[in-house]
Amino acid sequence: MKPLARSPLPRLARLLALAAALACSGSDAAGPAGLEGTYTLRTVNGSPLPADAEVPVSDGLARLPLVSATLVLRAAGTDGGTYAFTWNFDPPAGYPELPTRTRTSGTYVREASTLQMRPDDPGAATFHVVIDGGRLIRSTFLTGGGPDDFSPDVLIFER
């Protein structure tokens, strides 16, 4: 009796499955290195820019049009790195004391699907950014809305 020949297909299928699994384990899942890069602010509360934003100035807060913003992430180590936000405003003419750009920076630690952000400014509060695929979602109080408005703004950053 002739021995049965083994088909190469099951082995090929296992190799293809392994290759697919390795390819799908993108760098986002592996750690901060997969998150590195520049993210651009696309929407504030579901609306495209510009958006009115409250900006600290020497004598309180000023409401200015936010025309663009970026978030740059740099990995350092296996579970964190540094970040830098750049916020660009379009203040009305004749007010040179109002900012056209502000920057904030600090360090972050990845915790599952969130980034815990620790600002360099010792007086600033730690906050979280949610990782959603290629988007980063930050909830913050950006646009004000009065003393009775306690709902944070939702900012969507995309690569």
pLDDT digits (tens, 9 = 90+) for 45-74: 899 999 988 887 888 888 899 999 999 999
| Residue 63, domain member (yes or no) | yes
The C-alpha atoms of residue 87 and residue 155 are separated, in whole angstroms, by: 12
Domain boundaries, position 154: 30-158
- The closest of 146, 114, 137, 150 to 45, measured between CA atoms, is 137
pLDDT for 145 equals 58
Domain count, the chain: 1
The C-alpha atoms of residue 99 and residue 67 are separated, in whole angstroms, by: 12
| Residue 86, domain member (yes or no) | yes
| Residue 112, domain member (yes or no) | yes
Q: Which two tokens stand for residue 41?
A: 């602010």
Write the pLDDT tens digit of every residue in 134-158: 899 998 877 765 555 556 789 999 9
| Residue 121, domain member (yes or no) | yes
Most confident of 8-12, 14-18, 134-138: 134-138
CATH number for the domain spanning 38: value is 2.40.128.300
- CA end-to-end span of the chain: 63
Q: pTM for this structure?
A: 0.74
